[in-house]
Amino acid sequence: MRWCTEMNKRNSIIAILLLIVIFLVNQALAPIYIEESVLTEDKINIKYNAYRSSKDTALFIVPGWFMTKDSKAFRSIAEDFAKYYDVYAIDLRGHGKSSGLYTFTTNEVKDIRAVIEKTRAERNYRRYLLLGFSLGGALVINYTAKYKDVDSVIAVSAPTSFDNIENHFWSKEAVIPTFKKFEFDRWISIRPSLLIKSKVNSIDVISEISPIPVYLIAGQNDKTVFPWHAFRLYHAAKEPKKVYVFQDTIHAEDIYLSSPQTFVNSCYNWYELGI
């Protein structure tokens, strides 16, 4: 009996040591990022995480309302894409560690512009890619239509316009994921503007993106931005373009969270092969 007790103790110690080793290995293999900052044309300090490993392509990730570059979901998204590209994950104004107030797409294109311009000045990438989620998806559409200086765009759960967002936040498809992703530090970092200002509607400008490729992704059960937005944007866009609805998924980053590798593969195939 004593021998069995000693053996169980030894096995427990070995199991704990193995878990520690696995944790340390995973930490060592995880992409290393550097937090950097840039000032926008309207003097807002924008923070972003740069995951660099000397790739020849830069991918800029733009979260939506209430999400930040340091949220667990977007850290995971950035790390997965950093296997293929140098990744820049952005805190839009009024979010996370960036200054200013969030204006719900009125001024946030300036934030993307500042990060891309600084990156161009410091690095010589062969290609520049955009990946936006929810209102971040609307922003990458609006940005590309205005500046036309990137090589490919993916907009996930992007609305046709801010006024047309359904946002059935009381539905279980919205409430449950929101609380599953609860992060106190992120929630208290959000600072919205209370001023109502004019906005560019993505549906009105998406045709101006061509010939830059645009891929529109939706979640079948999205109760925040219904899938019809993606199809309406698709029909308004010019070639090259693609629309796809992920089955049994909901909104924005939750599409990724439901099946990370499937989502990443779909985006990679668009960026690299146009399919």
Residue 174: per-residue pLDDT: 61
Torsion angle, CA of 140/216/245/182, rounded to 10 degrees? 0
Q: What are the boundaries of each domain within the chain?
A: 1-30, 33-273
Residue 17, pLDDT score: 64
Strand order in the sheet with 127-133: 33-39, 45-51, 86-90, 57-62, 127-133, 152-156, 214-219, 241-246
Nearest to 142 by CA among 192, 91, 108, 191: 108
pLDDT at 181: 80
Q: Which CATH class is domain 33-273?
A: alpha beta
Residue 67 in contact with residue 36, Cβ under 8 Å?
no
Mean pLDDT split into 10-residue runs, the chain, 275 residues: 57 66 53 94 98 97 97 98 98 98 98 98 97 98 98 98 81 64 88 92 98 98 96 98 97 97 98 94
pLDDT of residue 182: 72
pLDDT of residue 18: 65
Cα-to-chain-centroid distance, residue 221: 19
Q: Which one-letter amino acid corresponds to residue 177?
A: P
Q: Please say whether the beta carbons of 87 and 81 come within 8 A.
A: yes
Q: Which residues, including other chains, have CB under 8 Å from residue 126's CB and lie 6 or more apart? A: 56, 57
Contacts of residue 27, Cβ cutoff 8 Å, sequence gap at least 6:
none
pLDDT per residue as tens digits for the range 150-191:
999 999 999 999 999 987 655 666 666 666 787 989 989 999
Q: Which residues pair with 60 in a beta bridge?
A: 88, 130
pLDDT at 242: 98
